[in-house]
Amino acid sequence: MKHVLPQLPYAADALSPRMSGETLEFHYGKHFQTYIDNLNRLVAGTGFEDMTLEELILKADGGIYNNAAQAWNHEFFFNGLSPVPSSVPSVLEDAINANFGSPDSFRDEFTQAAVSLFASGWVWLAVTPDGELRIVSTPNAGNPMRDGLRPLLVVDVWEHAYYIDYRNRRADFISAWWDLVDWNVVGKRFQNA
């Protein structure tokens, strides 16, 4: 299977000014594309050639794992954004309240994890097999599916995600990112988990 760069569900400049067209040009058009290109090159002629990204995340290691996970993580990240404001669906809000106390304490805990992750990486909201919500920080190309959790929401805290628009101000990027989260998508992921 040849992996291809998925289409964005919005125009490349639709998230501006919180996430500029220039950031999308580089983050989506170049970084994400490079993971896809590297993956296709690495799996060619190997036993991994016909696996999906999710299968590769569960079965591969090294460069194949890194590029497959970065491809999956970026598709999940970009698909979780929208230029249209949304609110948390009630079924998900109930789970957030049950696990974190309130929407504000969830947001504070998630923000703290995203601001303080001392690495390039990803911060996730994920659900355990028992239906409990967890905030999970993974360095580099980590993915909670490796630990049996289903991802619901992710923010990319690699510097390439925010350096064009926010330079070193990761906290400002996180604050703007919250405004872009597509809670309808996150709610559907929760219902399907």
Cβ atoms of 147 and 128 closer than 8 Å: no
Q: What are the CA-CA distances from residue 122 to residues 17, 77, 88, 90, 138 (Å)? A: 22, 10, 21, 26, 5
Nearest approach, Cβ of 173 to Mn ion (angstroms)? Answer: 12
Cβ at position 73, least distance to Mn ion in Å: 8
Q: Which residues bind Mn ion (CB under 5 A)?
A: 156, 158, 161
Least Å distance, CB 125 to Mn ion, is 18
75 vs 156, which CB is nearer to Mn ion? 156
Nearer to Mn ion, 58 or 164 (CB): 164
- Report which secondary-structure segment, H or E, holds 14: none
In 29-66, which positions are buried (b, 16+ CB within 10 angstroms) versus exposed (e)? eeebeebbebbbebbeeeebeebebeebbeebeeebbb
Pairing between β-strand 150-156 and β-strand 121-127 as defined by DSSP bridges: antiparallel
Please state the closest distance from residue 158 (CB atom) to Mn ion, in A. 5
Strands in 150-156's sheet, in edge-to-edge order, are 133-139, 121-127, 150-156
Give the nearer residue to Mn ion in terms of CB position, either 156 or 165: 156
Nearer to Mn ion, 22 or 93 (CB): 22
The nearer residue to Mn ion, 153 or 161, going by C-beta atoms, is 161
Determine the residue with CB nearest Mn ion.
Answer: 156
Give min distance, CB of 8 to Mn ion, in A: 14
CA distance 57 to 142: 9
